[in-house]
Each structure stands twice: as C-alpha cells, then as structure tokens.
Chain A
Amino acid sequence: MVSYILWLSDAVVPLFLLLILVVAWRRRVRVYEVFLAGAKEGFELGVRLIPYLVGMLAAIGVFRASGLLDLILSPLQGPLAALGMPGELLPLALTRPLSGSASFALMADALQSYGPDSFLGLAASTMQGATDTTFYILTVYFGSVGIKRMRYALLAGLAADVAGIGMAVLLARLLWG
C-alpha cells in the first residue's frame, strides 16, 4: 500500500502531462503557441508573490527567533503529540483556512528550516495542498452575490479543513514518519 502510494506520486505528474498533451494533440490545439501564452503569466505570478512572502517570512522569523513560538507551543506539545500533530506545523495548520499566501509562506519556511525531504517538510507540503482557503472562498463567493447570512457553509468548510489537514498528517506519518 505504502509503496503503491509512493509509486503513484512519481507517476501522476508524467501521466497527467501525457493525458493533457494527447488530448490537445487529438483536438489539434496549437500546443506550443498556447503553452507560451499561458507561461507568460508565470513570471508575473512569481513577482506578485514577493510582497506576500516577504511580509510573512519576516513575521514568522521574528515570531520564531524571539523564542515566542516555542514558549506558546511548549504547553501544547503534550496534547498535540497525542493527536499526532507535530507542534512545529501548528501555525501552518491554523493559518491554512485563513490565508493561502500566508500558509504558503509558512510552508516555504518549513521547507527552508527543516529541509524539503524531511518529515516536517513533507508533512508541511502535504498540509498546504490538502485543503483550500475556506475563509477567502466564502468571503469572495458570498460577497459577490450579497449573501449576509452564510448559515452552515463555514462549519462545513472548516470540518473539511480539519479532515484534510488531519489526513495530511496521518499520511505523512504513515509514509515518512
């Protein structure tokens, strides 16, 4: 099971790429031209990310280097360990539903600090991909049509976040723990 999941990880991207290119070829899409048109946005996207990343990486750096992160986490260490959640990743888990760019920066910070192929780096990457920014989506979508009472949508979204992040930690432990 574990080795199958790992094989699948290596194969999904090439297979997905193959599927896209074969369908595009059968439908006579002018692949290279279309590719270039889309790829042009890549540079802009990277540059647009800079202020978000600088803001968050500086903030998390201050928060951690001052020792405040450890101070807050130490009483939580016991209950978190019982749940299997690594304390280092708690800020990421809590930020994920609030802001995609902030949690992305926290993940990037984990990749830098612990190494992308360490348990913490792999777990952080999986957590970041495991769910979407619930608060942002609800605000934008409901805001666009003027809904004021969102009823149980937030609860359902947060339940999904907890499940996604919990599952990410569980799978990370299973595969790399």
Chain B
Amino acid sequence: MIDTIWLCFFLGGIIMALASGEPQVITLVIMEGSDQAVRLAIGLIGGMTFWLGIMRVAEEAGLVRLMAQALSPLFHFLFPSIPKGDPAEGAILMNISANILGLGNAATPLGLKAMQRLQELNPHPEEATPAMCTFLALNTCCVTLVPTAVLAARTAAGSLQPAAIVAPTFLATLAATLVAIVADRILRFFYIRE
C-alpha cells in the first residue's frame, strides 16, 4: 500500500514537472528534501535520547504495573469473553498501560503475548475472535499522555511552544478510543448475526 503511494508521488511528480517544462525542479527538491531529512533526524536525537532514558526509568519503577492495576476494573466490561484471572488479562492490561505511558518498545512484546493467549482460547484458529478485535481496536488508537516523538520533532523544528499539542493530543486519542470501543460493540453485534 505504502509502496503504491510512494511510487505515485515520484511518477506523478516527475511527469507533471516534465509536462510543465520545469524538470530542473525535481533534482533540486530531491536534494533539498534529503538534506532536510538528515538534519531533522539529527535534531531529533537529543529529545528522543532524553525520553527513552526517562521511559526506561518509568518501566523500572513499575509504572506499567501501577497503570494496569488502575485499569483492571474496566477489563471485564471490555472483554466479557475472557475468564477472570486468565493469563490474557495481565498481558492485555500491561500492553494497554505501556501504550498509554508511551512505552512502544515494551508494549509490542506484551501485546504479542496477549495475542498468543487469545489464540489459545480461539475455537476457529484462522478467524479473529471478538476479544481479539476489541484488543486490536484499542491498540490502533491508544490514549497517549506524552507524544514524545512529536515533541522532539517540534523542538527540532524550532518551536517556541513544543508542548502546546499535549492536551489536544490526549483529548483526540481519548475520543478515538471511545469511538473504537463503541464501533467494536456495534460491529460485533452485526457480525454475530451474519
């Protein structure tokens, strides 16, 4: 999919530039863009290094576990099909908590572990269960407290108020999560009746 988009950007752009009689623009813009990209990546290193360090401290301090405890009352509402105390419960809660805290590196292995356990509970191994759909719907839009990479990019671009986007980002991810939960419930109802 992303291959097609990338190809279209280049093919369309080059043909368009040739047709409008300004082919030299292409060379210039490619060199400029590449140069900008490297400067941006270098500029990101400071901010990302700091946040990755702090996030490791958060992990080590057990913040993921604390968050998972805080979220556990919601679990049986979201995943009615998973029995109480099942190993899937811990893995799912930890994955969602790690996502909320912005610990993407820690979240993925926990999420894959959760999927393994959900697959063991699955009567039709090639077809997604409702619990899997709910879990992944939540994963595609997770509530974000601190969007660290965006903060670093804004700082690198010379923003005077890099953090201005933190609260709106949080609210937007919250809205997306609520929609994911509602959409998942509605769609589940229709798919059972198919």
Contact = CB atoms under 8 A, between A and B. Distances in A.
Contacts of A36: 53
Interface string B111-138: 1100110110000011110001100110
Interface string A90-101: 000001011100
A81 interface: no
Interface of A (DSSP majority class):
helix
B42 A167 contact: no
A147 B127 contact: yes
Interface string A5-19: 110111011001101
B33 A16 contact: no
Interface string A47-77: 1011001111111111111111001000000
A132 interface: yes
A85 interface: no
A83 interface: no
Contacts of A31: 57
B55 A132 contact: no
Contacts of A145: 115-116, 118-119
B171 interface: yes
Interface string B156-184: 01111111111111111101111110011
B1 interface: yes
Given A39-B50, A66-B26, A122-B164, A107 B153 contact: yes
B17 A66 contact: yes
Contacts of A120: none
Contacts of B70: none
B41 A59 contact: no
Nearest to B31: A58
Nearest to B25: A65
Contact of B132 (A49, A71, A125, A153): A153
Interface of A: 5-6, 8-10, 12-13, 16-17, 19-21, 23-24, 27, 29, 31, 34-39, 41-43, 45-47, 49-50, 53-68, 71, 95, 97-99, 102, 104-105, 107-108, 111-112, 115-117, 121-122, 125-126, 128-135, 137-138, 140-142, 144-153, 155-157, 159-165, 167-168, 171-172, 175
Given A9-B163, A58-B30, A156-B140, 19 more contacts: A8-B166, A16-B146, A19-B63, A23-B66, A29-B61, A31-B57, A45-B52, A55-B6, A63-B9, A63-B12, A68-B12, A97-B140, A117-B159, A146-B119, A150-B133, A153-B133, A157-B141, A163-B178, A168-B168
